[in-house]
Amino acid sequence: MQNFSSFLCRLCCLLLISAAGVPNATALQTKHLVIGVEDIAYYPYFDYTRNEASLSKAILDRFAADQGYTISYVALPIKQFSKWLYENDIDFKYPDNKRWHPATKDHKAESFSDAIFYLRAGTVVLLQDKDRPKAFFKSLGMISGFDPTLWKAEIASGEVNILDDSSTKVLIKHLVNGLVDGVDIDIAVAKYYLESLGIKQQLAYSNTLPQEIYSHQLSTIKYPKIIQQFNQWLAQNKAFLEASLHKFHIPIEQPVLQASE
């Protein structure tokens, strides 16, 4: 009996030594992450309606691979965006941003990552219209479900009409054909869909209309610790993030004072 007790004691010591040699063993266990994404095409940032590489997919897939997770994406209707984490069986939401939510008690339960990358909110126009005064703009194209943050006063007064569509490509076609005076969209997205239409035309941000720098973030209710892990990964992989922006021909936007994180 004494020999058996001695054997058990030695076995326990060996197990403790083995466990000590594996740093953060729990964190290395594979976990499947389900990310809710918008059911629209906003390439090169994302287009989860097709199984095709995009900036956000490259980043999220790389994070999952580096941390030992598996990952899947569920395309959800953008008009139900604020309810995704509460009414759908998902773990995370992308893209997200704190400024897109009302300051309600419910949303205080959500955890947001640091900025993954920065984008520019502005009005894209034909190159010859880039210096037109604000009074020139009577109709604007906008993706269905997007919030016209920079035009709320003009819309409320009836000075500006919004033509919305779920197709980014359709909005760019409207701009080229003169059906709208501008489209509220990121310039990299506008140029991609213009090229996909085979149209030789130059686009630019309006110089006379307001612009805003904001970020894409990852959010969750269930897994705030994974958000912390993601933040650490972002900080350690700046070179990969910058290289990914270059790969997808996206200009690197710098955060500015009062930029929405």
Could you tell me if 90 and 163 lie in one domain? no
Give the pair of three-digit tokens for residue 18: 């083995």
Could you tell me if 196 and 236 lie in one domain? no
Could you tell me if 47 and 112 lie in one domain? yes
- Of the two residues 198 and 81, the one the predictor is more confident about is 198
Could you tell me if 161 and 99 lie in one domain? no
The predicted structure's pLDDT at residue 104: 56
The predicted structure's pLDDT at residue 255: 81
Mean pLDDT within 149-153 = 84
Q: Is the residue at 202 inside a domain?
A: yes
Least confident range of 12-26, 43-57, 94-108, 171-185: 12-26
Name the pTM for this structure.
0.83
Helices (H), the chain: 2-20, 55-67, 84-87, 152-157, 168-176, 187-196, 224-236, 238-247
The predicted structure's pLDDT at residue 261: 55
Residues 6+ apart with CB under 8 A from 105: none
- Of the two residues 221 and 17, the one the predictor is more confident about is 221
Residues 227 and 67: their CA atoms lie apart, in Å, by 12
* CATH code of the domain containing 194: 3.40.190.10
Mean pLDDT within 188-209 = 95
Query: Residue 243: is its pLDDT beyond 50?
Result: yes
When divided into structural domains, the chain yields a total of 2
Say if residues 38 and 78 touch (Cβ distance below 8 Å): yes
Mean pLDDT within 193-201 = 93
Calculate the alpha carbon distances from 218 to 40, 223, 253 in Å. 17, 11, 18
pLDDT-derived band at 19, boundaries 50, 70, 90: very low
Q: Is the residue at 197 inside a domain?
A: yes
